[in-house]
Structure 1
Amino acid sequence: MRETPACFGVVVNRSASERGSALLGLAAWIRRQGWLRRIYQHFPQSLRNRVSLVLAAPARKRVRFPRTPAWDWAPSKPVTRPTNLRSSSGLAFDGSAGVNIFAYFRGQFGLGESARLYTRALIDAGYPVALFDIGLQLPHGFDDGSLDDYLSSETPYDIHLLFVNPDYLEDSLHEIGRAKLARGYVIACWFWELEIIPPEWLPALDIVDEIMVSSSFVEAAFRRVTDKPILRIPLPLGDEPDSGLSRTDFGLRSNAFIFLVTFDFNSWLDRKNPFAAIEAFMRAFPLERDDVQLLVKSSNGYRHPEPFLRLLNAASNDSRIVVRDEVIGRHHIQAMQRCADAYVSLHRAEGFGLGLAESMRLGKPVVATAWSGNVDFMDERNSLLVDYELVPVETGQYSHSQGQRWAEANIEQAATCMRRLVDEPGLAERIGNQARKDIHEKLSARAIADCLIGRLRLIHGDRITIEPPTSFLDM
């Protein structure tokens, strides 16, 4: 049976490829039929997930990373620490200190990872925490067990830190139990990626006492709709375990300059905009150049068959573009970021930009749109920022899109930046070194934990009689 190079840099069976595309095409057609879509939406989420899995199975199998023996490695769980320690700044904790944290602690998606980052920072600082895992059935992976040793149904403290966005708040309260929150002070850590907070979210403001956000971009959005206290504390980045996987383990070339793009289909393909990175790469490097490679690492593509097919088609004309779609552990993600030479994010909007910050922490130069949450930690010295034009968010591109706008990156400028990183001696190393230095200073887990602890102490002692700072840098 005849074989042909696939669009993601591996050899696949032609008929299998065509069958996978046909099935995805059928799924796309079904999604466009209003009457079928309305019926389909009444199916249980678990059934819809299974249908998507079957339809996308042929293509999904072809875009998994190749497996080598090194993939069997896994980091051990963190050792449980006592909670009566002192933080690095010498803050002492008495019996009145402590915080209950409610989050998707096992969730393999942005909000779950954000909660784990803040939580680990508090644990490493020795601050008392009680972790309550929210088990809502969301269309994500839930296999992160890194904080399992800390999970409990006990919530003994009178401050509650809640990592649930407003659209799922009511469902979460039903699971948590309103009585658990009624006697305490509720801080909601919320994420959003556009300038206008959805009107449907506003009733959730009545349930919380304070809002914590990770960037000035998100802070500005919430300040337009509430006068409740808002605390801006960026995501803390500490030392992450690395699986030790090499380029060979990821199926990447050892002698090429590797550009990395990462995103989750559940976070909206149009917002993450990998197509711009693909186009910029192809403009920057003619097909005859074999010293470069672009790794597009996504997850949950099978849950979104039509956008998944769009991505595969966009990469199909360049064998240097490798598409991989699967959920992998954090230790493997860390290794993948290490193996890359540069990170590219021509996003239309970011609430914070965790993938960008993580790559910078490893000393990788980042090419990124100069708009939204990422500009809190990116500048012209530590990054290659790309100009943009603000354009309306079209219907269907993102949730709550009416009246919203976001950034359209200049693809030609992005292509120039990518070409410079490869061809200009010393540029990638110089920018990467500055990025590493700045991230270790600006997003230090230890410093951020102490600032959050300082705010919690004020609440414990004064019950919000003292106005909170607007930034962790003010503390």
Structure 2
Amino acid sequence: MPGLRYLPLRYRLPLIHGGLNLLAHSRSNRWKKAGAVTPKPGPLVVSGFLTETLGIGRAGRMTAQALKTAGFAVVEHDLRPAFKHLLFQGAKLPGEGGVWLIHANAPECLVAFMAHSPETWTHRYRIGYWAWETPKAPADWVWIADYLHEVWVPSRFVHDAMVKAFIAGGRDDLVPRLRIMPHPAPQSVAIRYSDAQQKFGLDPDLCEVLCLFDTKSGAMRKNPWSVLEAWREAFPEPADHARLTLKVSDMSGDRESEHRLTRALAMRPDIRVLTERLSDADMDALLAASDVLISLHRSEGFGLTLAEAMASGVAVIATGWSGNIDFMNDRNSRLIPARMIALHDPDGPYCQVSGRPDQIWAEPDISAAAVALRDVTMDAVVRRDLIVAAQSDVRALDKPWQPEALRTLAFNLYLGARKS
């Protein structure tokens, strides 16, 4: 359907997911559920959107690299080409047997299953790596978990969201398949600050504050509007010691957000917007060259950018709720209190769960965020103390990815030769 992309998300998502599920159910009589067949030894294949700048692509690359660092012989497999083979199952998986780790959410796992002939993955030990950003995962994810031996999730928040979905679907038996595997600790980014400052127009005499959001991740969830409110409350007149940069990805599909930002920037020389597409390396450099990262999100499945900022020596201000509190605390960041409100995203990526009584997210306290902005931007010692604690604490994310921890996991039983 060529015109599908032009439909609003509230219409497009039900059509896409409903169509995928109907097609998958019609084919699933040939699929073997996890546990029905003993996997055969073979390679460790990590599938994902490994060549893309999307957050899920970045996370997939981190997973593959962490496994390699731990001594596993990883075969990287780009999942995007498989989408072309959805109808005729012509996609190819490397090797035979072994472990297939699909670093993509349930709908994309479904595409992976349908694009590859079931004979090519029946005898593999299958792991999905899923993330979700509301307190209860979608109901149509439950049956897909039947075909996975394990479901890895990056935080306790996502784990609990999956548990609620499994129990609501009458599938308590799937809960033991869940394993919390936080994203590996990001590496600190080494940059030439003078080059980064020149490239991105950063001023060494200002405290540079960065807010990142991608309209495809949902402007309602990322909530840059609260950042703007907090900035104006913190500094009723344009600040002469600090500047806020809003880095926005892909405004083409969200004209309302574009107009709203334009209105918000009027008469504020201490606020600017960057909209150009940046490579991973440039995004790393922009983040690492900033002094503060602020995220007044309504929910995060994990908060990878927050962890990346902490690792790179950037002070972080963020909503104190959802997946990020697994690695953020009052010692290593400024956590902003929030009240819970009904999830409302009628035209965004969460439209299918919007308005349901069991779906809530956070409304961060604007005044508390304003206080944090004043404190962190005006006191270099405060920033330094947060950074020192953050760089120490974020390394704990690597514990589940250490060789001794990974060797205890069940997937090792189905690997062929691996590095020493």
TM-score by length of 1: 0.71
* Map of 1:109 onto structure 2: 54
Query: Aligned with 1:307: secondary structure?
Result: helix
Q: Distance in 2 between matches of 1:379 and 1:240?
A: 20
Q: Match of 2:181, as an amino acid? A: I
Choose from 62, 66, 72 the match for 1:127.
Answer: 72
Q: Answer yes or no: is 1:220 the counterpart of 2:160.
A: yes
Q: Distance in 2 between matches of 1:220 and 1:44?
A: 33
User: CA 1:461/1:173 → structure 2, altered by over 3 Å: closer, same or farther?
Assistant: closer
How far is 1:177 from its partner? 3.4
* Map of 2:183 onto structure 1: 235
Q: Distance in 1 between matches of 2:203 and 2:283?
A: 17
* Map of 2:235 onto structure 1: 285
Query: Aligned with 1:192: secondary structure?
Result: coil
* Map of 1:191 onto structure 2: 131
Q: Distance in 1 between matches of 2:404 and 2:324?
A: 20
* Map of 1:461 onto structure 2: 413
Q: Match of 1:459, as an amino acid? A: F
CA contact (8 A) 2:212 2:246 kept: yes
User: CA 1:295/1:203 → structure 2, altered by over 3 Å: closer, same or farther?
Assistant: same
Q: Distance in 2 between matches of 1:205 and 1:228?
A: 11
After alignment, is 348-357 or 313-322 more displaced?
313-322
* Map of 1:294 onto structure 2: 244
Q: Distance in 1 between matches of 2:230 and 2:335?
A: 14
How far is 1:255 from its partner? 1.0
Q: Which runs of 5+ in 2 are unaligned?
A: 8-39, 84-91, 167-173, 416-420
How far is 1:415 from its partner? 0.5
Q: Match of 2:70, as an amino acid? A: A
* Map of 2:322 onto structure 1: 372
Q: Answer yes or no: is 1:331 the counterpart of 2:271.
A: no
How far is 1:257 from its partner? 0.6
Q: Answer yes or no: is 1:182 the counterpart of 2:122.
A: yes
CA contact (8 A) 2:43 2:95 kept: no
CA contact (8 A) 1:242 1:332 kept: no
How far is 1:207 from its partner? 2.0
Query: Aligned with 2:252: secondary structure?
Result: helix
CA contact (8 A) 2:188 2:311 kept: no
CA contact (8 A) 1:164 1:172 kept: no
CA contact (8 A) 1:343 1:367 kept: yes
* Map of 1:11 onto structure 2: none
Query: Aligned with 1:130: secondary structure?
Result: strand
After superposition, what is the alpha-carbon deviation per residue over 1:104-146, rounded to whole angstroms, capped at 9, x for unaligned?
11121111111111111112223111121112599xxxxxxxx
Q: Distance in 2 between matches of 1:260 and 1:115?
A: 24
User: CA 1:451/1:111 → structure 2, altered by over 3 Å: closer, same or farther?
Assistant: farther
* Map of 1:43 onto structure 2: 3
Q: Percent identity?
A: 27
CA contact (8 A) 2:211 2:295 kept: yes
CA contact (8 A) 1:97 1:128 kept: no
How far is 1:395 from its partner? 4.4
CA contact (8 A) 2:98 2:414 kept: no
Q: Answer yes or no: is 1:436 the counterpart of 2:412.
A: no
* Map of 1:149 onto structure 2: none
After superposition, what is the alpha-carbon deviation per residue over 1:17-54, rounded to whole angstroms, capped at 9, x for unaligned?
xxxxxxxxxxxxxxxxxxxxxxxx85154x89xxxxxx
CA contact (8 A) 1:297 1:323 kept: yes
How far is 1:461 from its partner? 2.8
Query: Aligned with 2:307: secondary structure?
Result: helix
Q: Match of 1:418, as an amino acid? A: L
After superposition, what is the alpha-carbon deviation per residue over 1:137-166, rounded to whole angstroms, capped at 9, x for unaligned?
99xxxxxxxxxxxxx952344111012211
Q: Match of 2:266, as an amino acid? A: S
Instruction: Give the length in aligned residue pairs.
Output: 361
User: CA 1:105/1:462 → structure 2, altered by over 3 Å: closer, same or farther?
Assistant: closer
User: CA 1:173/1:240 → structure 2, altered by over 3 Å: closer, same or farther?
Assistant: farther
Q: Give matches, 1:344-423, under 5 Å.
A: 344-396=294-346, 397=348, 398-399=350-351, 400-401=353-354, 402-403=356-357, 404-423=359-378
Q: Match of 1:429, as an amino acid? A: R
Q: Which runs of 5+ in 1 are unaligned?
A: 1-40, 49-94, 139-151, 464-475
TM-score by length of 2: 0.79
User: CA 1:97/1:169 → structure 2, altered by over 3 Å: closer, same or farther?
Assistant: closer
